[in-house]
Amino acid sequence: MNLIDQYMQRIQAIIGERTAEEEQYDAEVIRGLKKFGKIRKAINRANKKYPGEALKYSDENIGEIESHYHYLMKHIEMLNKITH
């Protein structure tokens, strides 16, 4: 197994299976994070656009959520570099 295949298996284990709606929500959060630089603002915007996928956050879990979306954003950037 090559390095890219190993990476893809690992990322699949971390991110897990996502529905199309979940992927759209995640993409909206990432767009907001890139635009505003604030995870709360990005989540609030995505929650309005995709209320069925809305995340509930608190002071206790916002750091973990922010880390997840930064990781996901870097993953997408890496995939774009690999595939182009």
Domain enclosing residue 64, as ranges: 3-83
- For the stretch 19-60, pLDDT in tens is 899 999 999 999 999 999 999 999 999 999 999 999 999 999
The DSSP result for 12-77, as a single string, is HHHH----HHHHHHHHHHHHHHHHHS-HHHHHHHHHHH-GGG-----TTTHHHHHHHHHHHHHHHH
State both tokens at 25.
Answer: 């929500």
Number of domains into which the chain is organized: 1
pLDDT for 55: 95
What is the mean pLDDT of the segment spanning 3-28? Answer: 82
Cα 58 from Cα 40, distance rounded (Å): 10
Cα 25 from Cα 82, distance rounded (Å): 23
- Write down the mean pLDDT value for the chain: 89
